[in-house]
Amino acid sequence: MSQFWLYFQLGLFHVLDWQAYDHLLFLVALVASYGFNTWKKVLWLVSLFTIGHTVSLFLSVYGIVKVETVYVEFLIPLTIIFTALFDIFTAGKKAQKTNYNLLYFSTIFFGVIHGLAFSSDFKMITSGFESKIWPLLEFTLGIESAQVIVVLGVMILAFIFQNIFNVSKRDWILVTCSLIIGIVLPILVENYQAL
């Protein structure tokens, strides 16, 4: 049981670590446009992201897919910026004018990229271990729990700002996503220079 908590906490704090905030920022950008009244879309987005990163995490850990870490580290900020830009360009548009197929496809693809980043950390933790399946499942469960915490936190903040402080949904999206881009752009430049 203590092994379960070890890997669960490693997965949980991999996402909730303030020094590795790239996954946090992606999740914020992913759900910044949604609230509790659109929980089904949030569930779809988070589920697709989960499918993407879980599949690539397993494939990478078992050596089926290999991608250099430097490329993954470059692609992570790109996924965040593209997601934030999508939110900015669709802010204030009616739902029927938003291309959700593009959003759903990109979310699963971005999940694949984030899963490759998760796998590099997981492989360092478990190097030399013969069996990786249970630690991998426990680590993944920790990641999923962290995602639920982040998504609920963002939705609660959105509710507070939009319903208590009377910030329009459009302004909430524009400010949140602009801040995310401002934080991530220097990381993208730095990772580009490392290629």
pLDDT, tens only, 24-64: 999 999 999 999 999 999 999 999 999 999 999 999 998 99
Domains and CATH numbers, the chain: 2-11+21-193 (1.20.1250)
Q: How confident is the model at residue 122 (pLDDT cuts 50, 70, 90)?
A: confident
Distances (CA, A) of 100 to 86, 103, 106: 11, 5, 10
Torsion of CA 132, 133, 139, 145, to 10 degrees: 180
- Reply yes or no on whether the pLDDT at 5 is more than 60: yes
pTM of the full structure = 0.93
Measured CA to CA, the distance from residue 130 to residue 156 in angstroms comes to 42
pLDDT at 98: 64
The position carrying tokens 């920022």 is: 25
Summarised one tens digit per residue, pLDDT across range 130-173 is 678 889 999 999 999 999 999 999 999 999 999 999 999 999 99
pLDDT at 97: 61
DSSP 21: T
Query: What percent of the chain has pLDDT above 90?
Result: 76
Q: How confident is the model at residue 102 (pLDDT cuts 50, 70, 90)?
A: confident
